[in-house]
Structure 1
């Protein structure tokens, strides 16, 4: 037995990119992407991805360089999840909701060589590049027109749009459909770069390898019991951790991807009925939108929904399931590439009252098969806390889905990936007697609003730049629509000739922060509560915000 060793036949690098070749062979004539009046087959999608990968190589993009994408859920955005890494480059999806300053930081930090830009974000990206340091080379830009218009009237290689090298369809036209895509030399080669948040001058760029994305994708399909050839509606932004890896997963099962540029309740219900949608993923805020849509009617056939980002409120779960949605709940981070903990359902819970079922389903759950271990430990000793549903500790994870590390940040990497072999999430949770994890808080005071992570310290740093502010603290306030929103507690400097209004403080933030990070509530206080050592007691402020509802 000791003579049996790994060999070239059993050691080809794992990568999810091969799922596209399989789809083209097994499901070639079936619908791959549907968007408005445009429809593609898996054979067409495979060919188009090879052509774009070929065009990237032809303009000098090399293995290991970063290519960024700023686009909503349109067909080209889906294709680029394959095109970019098939060229050998590292894919960097960027949140379309960021402001120009934040976008400039990310593009500069990533050293992106090419940026694919949706036409509605073109002015934003051009402004971001204008903010680059002097004498810094900026990336080449490729314009994504609205797919319906562009496919019907293909644009030639030369683009008339100032500042753009070409259009996306121009890249398709000029590319070689027989291009031999660049396979990873090692399955540990970086494949994607995803940024965790926005406005810090030291952004956290999470790097995942081909092996990790392969494992996370397979994990996602098995854990959610995704069948062959589902009809998948893209309500979850693909820029969110590559759509929790379902971008590649839907190719593995030959799905029909229904693309949706804008997430609105009437549009979602229309797509569900028109295309007989079977699966979709979304943040709890979208569940709430669907549950509260006044014209909502019970679905003709069930739609499986996977939600994450924040625990879905029990009343929202009850309402959406009464409409015919079958809701599953999970937990993951950008650092895990997708969901790695899920609330595996126990059939005996079906006999419980609806409120109790919703409470159980709102827990994060147990480790999925792609994650070897999950635990809750005392941050100081590293010892597991009691499994009593009360004892709190830090959530730690271990398994093949965990990132390689943070880009250009070895100190940040070592601070969360410890020598004991655990990835420390920074989330506070409890472990229930049945082994199910439940998140209770966040060590770094992250606010989750509509599925977006907001760092309270980043909002505070902006507010401290206001000359009238003396002290400030930002905490989460419960919100029926967004789940949570930033709530500002502020004390003003003395001897002001005129005190600012709540709207003026909000407007100050609106001019300096991405929209989703702007506080919705401002509370003025003479003095913020502090400990004996002068630290602001945020837990008291959270209680006030909770009482505000």
Structure 2
């Protein structure tokens, strides 16, 4: 394959199977291209101009992919909406993004309709995949429109909304490049190139998490632009993942450590039943991965597991299997086009091995939080700090509030989010370190650690554990888990108490919704952070 960019590839090879829906339906590249082209023509008739935005409340599959491919060749911003949100939350995003068209799948009809009403978007700009009362059928936009490439094509972009630790989420908006869409898609491939991922067949990318997450859209969309077939999962399941990897000869995917934990919990005979020899680049991020868990995955799958740390806002690190083995626990060193800076509370750079706030920057990664200049400014390093370090463009450094340190070789190790840090008796305690130790226990399926009020110490350490299947929650299990920390974790870091929960509140991308667990303990009390 001589060139990258879905639209080029689809014209050259229309019979290539570009995507496979969760129900197994295969979609030819030529058909997908024609559908996206017709959608551009239809939305232009609706009055959409370059710089406008569209929102999609759609499950994993080609419906959302069609919206993505239309927006990215017509100069629009595409915002995929989290389908776990309520009507008012959906309405906020549709209104805040200034969407000129809103697409809802019938699976999410109830909350989608509430969101449309809440946002104030005109009914004639609301379209349904399937049947949604009050919405126009999607076919009204595409039927009778030409399937040829639209004129005056220009690159669009995705605008994802960050979940945010406080307040409402904000859209991360970048200036449009003005490039030809296929050229822009080719530039996107730099990220997958860092992992050594090659273009063309026989590569297959397994989409394991919801496409409304930035990384899922980025890795899946870029894989498509590199000529990889996308195989979509509707809901993640450990054995189904192995089945799909064998059936479609999957070469790459984007996963989270929770997936690894669940995969390792499968019976040995189940794990051995599937041929995984096609795997080459299984990439993970989004949450810390306990060292023993990753070691077991490397032993099972071989040196195909890559890790990275990044943010929707831009910049990041990567750890190859070899890097990680030399620096166990690292999330990698900076991408060639990125820089990492660790500073203390006075915004002074700290020496290697000293934890501080992690700041990043990436060449050309200019962004703003849409409609929130104060939040944009607060995330950036103040003018003059980077200059003291002897680097230019110091305002390009930003933080998402993580704490970490660099080792002598420049590899980044994460401690925790600043907002999650526990201050007990004046000591800084990082919950992620404790969670990693708890997760090693065979009777622990998932764990969360956070601070709760303590009149003497300020905060005390609370653990919430999701027991592994077959394990009985209660005082005996709590005592067994705590006893397992002997010799591995200093006593000051031990949870004072353990509560049990049937299922941990995690987003499908693996991110823990810790506030849901922590907030009830703080009702009527003020937290310092």
Aligned equivalents of 1:396, 1:516: Cα separation in 2: 23
In the alignment, which residue of structure 1 is the partner of 2:473?
none
Q: Which residue among 370, 386, 396 is the counterpart of 2:351?
A: 386
In the alignment, which residue of structure 1 is the partner of 2:261?
288
Q: Which 5+ residue runs of structure 2 have no aligned equivalent?
A: 384-393, 423-429, 456-500, 506-510
- Answer 1 or 2: higher relative contact order, Cα 8 Å, separation at least 6: 1
Deviations 1:387-423 (A, max 9, x none): 2xx3112212222363421101112212223432332
In the alignment, which residue of structure 2 is the partner of 1:115?
102
Aligned equivalents of 1:66, 1:176: Cα separation in 2: 22
Measured at CA, do residues 49 and 413 of structure 1 come closer, stay the same or move farther in structure 2, by a change above 3 Å? same
Aligned equivalents of 1:216, 1:202: Cα separation in 2: 31
In the alignment, which residue of structure 1 is the partner of 2:283?
306
Pair 1:366 & 2:371 matched = no
Pair 1:341 & 2:279 matched = no
Q: Which residue among 222, 242, 248 is the counterpart of 2:193?
A: 222
CA contact (8 A) 2:205 2:220 kept: no
CA contact (8 A) 1:233 1:280 kept: yes
TM-score (norm 2): 0.73
Aligned equivalents of 2:169, 2:518: Cα separation in 1: 26
SS at match of 1:376: strand
Question: Residues 393-472 of structure 1 correspond to what in structure 2 (within 5 A)?
Answer: 393-400=356-363, 402-418=365-381, 419=383, 420-425=394-399, 426-445=401-420
Pair 1:98 & 2:76 matched = no
CA contact (8 A) 1:97 1:515 kept: no
In the alignment, which residue of structure 2 is the partner of 1:47?
34
* Stretch of structure 1 that moved more, 87-96 or 271-280: 87-96
Report the CA distance between 1:232 and its aligned residue.
0.8
TM-score (norm 1): 0.70
In the alignment, which residue of structure 2 is the partner of 1:196?
162
Report the CA distance between 1:221 and its aligned residue.
1.8
Measured at CA, do residues 63 and 200 of structure 1 come closer, stay the same or move farther in structure 2, by a change above 3 Å? farther
Measured at CA, do residues 176 and 332 of structure 1 come closer, stay the same or move farther in structure 2, by a change above 3 Å? same
Aligned equivalents of 1:175, 1:446: Cα separation in 2: 55
In the alignment, which residue of structure 2 is the partner of 1:124?
111
SS at match of 1:115: strand
Aligned equivalents of 2:411, 2:67: Cα separation in 1: 37
Q: Which residue among 202, 206, 209 is the counterpart of 1:236?
A: 209
Pair 1:34 & 2:31 matched = no
Report the CA distance between 1:139 and its aligned residue.
7.6
Aligned equivalents of 1:118, 1:515: Cα separation in 2: 26
Pair 1:205 & 2:188 matched = no
Report the CA distance between 1:18 and its aligned residue.
7.4
CA contact (8 A) 1:56 1:87 kept: no
Question: Residues 137-148 of structure 1 correspond to what in structure 2 (within 5 A)?
Answer: 137=122, 140-145=125-130
Q: Which residue among 132, 146, 171 is the counterpart of 1:176?
A: 146
Pair 1:328 & 2:306 matched = yes
CA contact (8 A) 2:283 2:307 kept: yes
Measured at CA, do residues 486 and 140 of structure 1 come closer, stay the same or move farther in structure 2, by a change above 3 Å? farther
Aligned equivalents of 1:142, 1:199: Cα separation in 2: 32
CA contact (8 A) 1:115 1:141 kept: yes
Report the CA distance between 1:340 and its aligned residue.
2.6
Q: Which residue among 233, 250, 273 is the counterpart of 2:246?
A: 273
CA contact (8 A) 1:429 1:438 kept: yes
Deviations 1:55-84 (A, max 9, x none): 211222222222011122211212222112
SS at match of 1:195: coil
Q: Which 5+ residue runs of structure 1 have no aligned equivalent?
A: 1-16, 146-159, 350-355, 448-473, 493-505, 529-533, 539-549
Q: CA RMSD in A?
A: 3.8
Aligned equivalents of 2:86, 2:246: Cα separation in 1: 35
Aligned equivalents of 2:172, 2:449: Cα separation in 1: 25
SS at match of 1:489: strand
Report the CA distance between 1:482 and its aligned residue.
7.8
Measured at CA, do residues 260 and 345 of structure 1 come closer, stay the same or move farther in structure 2, by a change above 3 Å? closer
Measured at CA, do residues 192 and 283 of structure 1 come closer, stay the same or move farther in structure 2, by a change above 3 Å? same
In the alignment, which residue of structure 2 is the partner of 1:246?
219
Pair 1:315 & 2:289 matched = no
Report the CA distance between 1:198 and its aligned residue.
6.3
In the alignment, which residue of structure 1 is the partner of 2:133?
162
